[in-house]
Structure 1
Amino acid sequence: MSSHATLTRTVAEWIVHQSSTALPVEMDHHVRRMLLDHLAGVAASSVGEVSAAVGVHVARTYRGSTATAIGHGRTSALGAAVLNGTNGHGIESDEGYTPGSMHPTSVVFPAVFAVAQERGISGDRVLRAAAIGMELACRLADAGHPATRNRHFHNTPVAGVFGAAAAVSVLLGLDEDGVANALGLAGSHAGGVFEFLGGSAEVKRFHPGKAARDGITSADLAEAGLTGPTTILEGRDGYFAAFAGEEGTDWFADTVTRRLGEEWVLLRTYVKPYPCCRHLHGAIDAMLALRDEFDLDPESITSIEVGTFAIATRHAGRVLDTVLQGQLSLPFTVAVAALTGSVTLTDFSETARQDPRALALMDKVVVRLDEAADASYPKTGRPADVTVVTSDGARYQHRVEQPYGEPTNPMSDTDLEVKAYGLLEPVIGLAGAKTLVEACWNFDTLDFLDELDAAVRSAKPV
């Protein structure tokens, strides 16, 4: 038996204790930041094709009216979790936690909101449940990363389902045994593989929705009396054994429990300034810095070399048939940054992906492994080094250790609002965006979700 045989129980005990403890002021504010970032992305994504496809499935399968699926009206709690979770990850705008390479909001908030609406729960308890679930998801993802990713698993759903189960357990008021069983049940729902990268399959967007739904199911079944393995995290055939490998080599129990209840690792989540894979952001920042500092003319660029960590080098695709392929392409996004001086959602439209100038510049981008960057990721940074050569033979180089939005290179509340308005205004207008921004900062009820849903639906083309 492992010396950490009580890991699942330790986590369950913390969840129950934390559920009756007020969030520190700094943490309360941070969760509201995450809420604003999340809902802006959900609203912007809810008018897209993936959202429409999942909406058809939800309408067929999850009938009810107890929870709000933004942009789709009322449905069941499970249906709302599926749709809002999918849309939370739908345009690659969602925040994340670098040490675990995962996006906690797109899994946990949809699960929490759906159950809170269904059960009539509001106020601090909702934010507290969300914070607890996201904290656990980040710690679990970190404890097994990058071994989990190297085994081809997508950390957001595989670790996120535990966070969703934990958060919903808080809302349901489960005791330690109940929480341990909910986590045990969540282990059987963990899943999501990276094969979507090969053809940029849109199932990637669905992963958080699936995990949010399954987290609700796990907690609900535990409340109903179904048991799960209460050694799910540390067991010989448990989560870490299956998804990571050997303890002390591939995963680390201490990462889960270190200063648990004293320190919130959730405070170290990042905010994305660009709607694309976070692994690309360091190179984008470096390219933008070079463009601004040296007033580079894109027409004069003869080559762009990007050195970065190994996982980022896997995102060197040059096929741009879909939005997702563009959002996962380091050569394309760096070319766009060099060409336009920004990377925005419109840069991934079909027209933008076919822009001859962007395609010509993309062909000049070379991606290579940077050993120092690889040694830094994921524990201390997401480095990228960009070197630009121009037609006159001049060379310009810039290195970014941490992309903008990381806790050591943070995005201010003001810039976060600017990002949110940029996502919201095209969908619900300035007045609607202002209402949502204020509702997030002053959160005490979920009543605004129906208002947001109505605003999105009224803006959708008939």
Structure 2
Amino acid sequence: MVHTPVTFAHKIQWADLPSSVQNLMKRSVLDTIGVAAAGYQTQMGRITARYSKDHWQAGATGPKAQLMFDGASVSPAGAAFAGAFAIDAVDAHDGHSPVKGHAGSAVFPALCAFGGSVRLNGSQFMAAMAVGYEVGYRAGLAQHATLSDYHTSGAWTAIGVAAMGARLLELPPDATRHAMGIAEYHGPRSQMMRCIDHPTMVRDGVGWGAPSGVTAVYMAQAGFTGAPALTVEAAPEFWDGLGRDWEIERTHYKPYPVCRWAHPAIDAASDLRTQHGLNAANIASVEIKTFHNATRLAGQDPQTADDIAYGIAFPVAAMLVRGQVGLAELAPAVLDDAEICRISKATELTEDAGFNAAAEHGERWARVVLTLRDGQVLTSRDYRPKGDPDNPMSDAEISAKFHSFTVPLLGQARANQIEDLVGQLEQVHDIAPLLDLICAPV
């Protein structure tokens, strides 16, 4: 059945989802929990959790939710705010290349926040999550096609969160329209390339997109008006086939906790390092050929973890020196690694016309050229990122990433319990035990 955005938000069921979409939703639950656990431990995660407890308290008679990995009781908007910032603090969450952004970093924490006051089984939980992803992706595509500025994911994930929340709170159709309209109007129209050029903790805007969507639902429930959402109702071509064709199927996953635009260059560097048995000390300089927006990542001389996450030269240098780009390569101590700093500063970024053309179609490509101290020049093949739908991470790789992110914080037993529950989530009669595992204090 083909739906309107409103009927899709309310009528689509777990059994209606293709098996490929069902598998992606389960994969995204596990992957996002892992990223949230890693993000909770960052300075950005700690600041926003504290802020939520101080400023987003639940009303005496209003709905309540718990902060992830903290357990503190706050408003649903407060829980979505802190959870989205925590996930966005480690740039390892799932995404969608054509929309140049990330749905799960806003949708998942908002869903957990709503789940604090709405009883759900596992299938209902994941069907609601699919609504948030699909509506968010399509709203983002409409926004990017109809506006000249490249806005952060927070601008359009707010609309997906609102559609999902309207479903969970069983709003009538007209109130659902208003919820999406309020979310679109109040969602953060933040400029993504500003954070690329000047990296800070503002990141991808989802820290405000998630609570904007949550708040929109409760406002619409109370009778506040805000329809229409123009990305939904004034751009019908982006909603064709809703419920039949799934943007979710273009979701990708990230092996490295840095901006995805850097990933093909990291993989190219890794291949050269392994293929030639390189000693980083013998590398004189690096050239990264890629598409325009990736060259703006630059970051040859980072000063903060934010600079690394939105950089390309430093993560590539880390791969050449250490053979990995993981959470350790985001820690402050890595900024004092003399060899990584040397190679990063000796890195030049250049645009490739073919890669620019491919980027217009949502593809991310890079090639790395290494010049060694003895004058030898090594050139990689052209790379696309690992984790794309046609170059996927395996289930084992997703699991290993999840454990590497969660075990240091939660311990092996709790991480195993979460993974086991997610693995059979469609059979779970009550989502509360999973939320308890996610939200229990550490």
Query: Are positions 1:177 and 2:174 aligned together?
Result: yes
Deviation at 1:398, TM superposition (A): 1.7
- The number of aligned residues is 429
Which one is further off, 280-289 or 379-388? 379-388
Q: Return the letter of the residue paired with 2:184.
A: G
Contact 1:100 1:378 in 2 (8 A): no
SS at match of 2:411: helix
Counterpart among 164, 168, 172 of residue 167 in structure 1: 164
Other-structure match for 2:271: 289
Task: Provide the C-alpha distance between the structure 2 equivalents of 1:338 and 1:258, rounded to a whole number of angstroms.
Answer: 45
**Secondary structure, in 3 states, of the residue corresponding to 1:305?**
strand
Structure 1 match to 2:140: 141
Q: d(CA) in 2 for partners of 1:362 and 1:404?
A: 22
Deviation at 1:253, TM superposition (A): 4.8
| Structure 2 CA distance for partners of 1:414 and 1:231, relative to 1, 3 Å | closer
**Is the aligned partner of 1:220 residue 2:218?**
yes
Q: How many angstroms apart in 1 are the aligned matches of 2:350 and 2:374?
A: 24
Note the residue ranges of structure 2 that are not aligned, 5 or more in a row.
none
Task: Give the whole-Å Cα distance in 2 for the aligned partners of 1:429 and 1:400.
Answer: 39
Q: Is the CA contact (8 Å cut-off) linking 1:80 and 1:110 kept in structure 2?
A: yes
Name the CA shift for 1:305/1:198 in 2 (closer, same or farther; >3 Å): closer
Which amino acid in the other structure matches residue 52 of structure 2?
A: V
Q: CA deviation at 1:450?
A: 2.2
Equivalent residue, structure 1, for 2:319: 337
Offset at 1:166? 0.8
- Report if the CA contact (8 A) 1:381-1:401 is conserved: no
**Contact residue 113 and residue 446 of structure 1 kept, 8 A:** no
| 2:435 aligned partner | 449
1:421 Cα shift? 0.6
Percent identical? 26
For the 8 Å contact 1:70–1:84, the answer to whether it is kept is: yes
Displacement of 1:132 after TM fit?
Answer: 1.0
Find 2:48's aligned residue among 48, 54, 76.
54
Residues 336-366 of structure 1 show CA distances to partners (whole Å, capped at 9, x for unaligned) of: 1111111111112121112111111112211
| Range 294-303 or range 412-421, more displaced | 294-303
**C-alpha distance in 2 between matches for 1:29 and 1:350:** 36
Question: SS of the residue aligned with 2:116?
Answer: helix
Question: Residues 71, 413 of structure 1: CA spacing in aligned structure 2 closer, same or farther, 3 A cutoff?
Answer: same
- 1:260 aligns to 2:242 (yes or no): yes
2:130 counterpart residue number: 131
Q: Work out which of the residue numbers 418, 422, 426 in structure 2 matches 1:440.
A: 422
Shift of 1:24: 2.6
Q: Is the 8 A contact 1:302 1:391 kept in 2?
A: yes
Structure 1: which 5+ residue stretches go unaligned?
1-8, 239-251
Q: 1:66 aligns with which of 64, 67, 70?
A: 64
The answer to whether the Cα contact below 8 Å between 1:432 and 1:452 also exists between their aligned partners in 2 is: no
TM-superposed CA distance for 1:193, in Å, is 2.5
Counterparts of 1:234 and 1:31 in 2: how far apart (Å)? 23
Cα offset, 1:258, TM superposition: 3.4
Are 1:362 and 2:344 counterparts? yes
| Of 14, 17, 20, the match for 1:26 | 20
Q: For 1:31-110, list aligned pairs within 5 A.
A: 31-64=25-58, 66-73=64-71, 74-110=73-109
The alpha carbon displacement at 1:180 in A equals: 1.4
Distance 1:316 1:448, change over 3 A: same
Question: Which amino acid is 1:84 matched to?
Answer: G
Residue 447 of structure 1 aligns to a residue whose secondary structure is helix
The CA distance in 2 between the partners of 1:139 and 1:398, in whole Å, is 35
Secondary structure of the residue aligned to 1:290 is: helix
Which runs of structure 2 are paired with 1:200-219 in the superposition (5 Å)? 200-204=199-203, 207-219=205-217
Amino acid at match of 2:164: A
Note the C-alpha offset of 1:333: 0.8
SS of 1:188's partner is helix
Q: Is the 8 A contact 2:178 2:225 kept in 1?
A: yes
2:184–2:229 contact (8 Å) kept in structure 1: no
Deviations 1:379-416 (A, max 9, x none): 25100011112223322212334210111110011110
For normalisation by structure 1, the TM-score amounts to 0.88
Work out whether residues 285 and 370 of structure 2, in 8 Å CA contact, stay in contact via their aligned partners in 1.
yes
CA RMSD, Structure 1 to Structure 2 (Å) = 2.1
Shift of 1:311: 0.8
| Contact 1:132–1:163 (Cα < 8 Å) also in 2 | yes
Larger mean Cα displacement after TM superposition, 334-343 or 56-65: 56-65
Question: What amino acid sits opposite 2:100 in the alignment?
Answer: S
1:173 aligned partner, one-letter code: E
Pairing 1:229–2:227 present:
yes
- Residue 307 of structure 2 corresponds to which residue in structure 1? 325
Is 390-399 or 100-109 further displaced after alignment? 390-399
> 2:412 — aligned with what?
430
Q: 1:339 to 1:20 in 2, by over 3 A?
A: closer
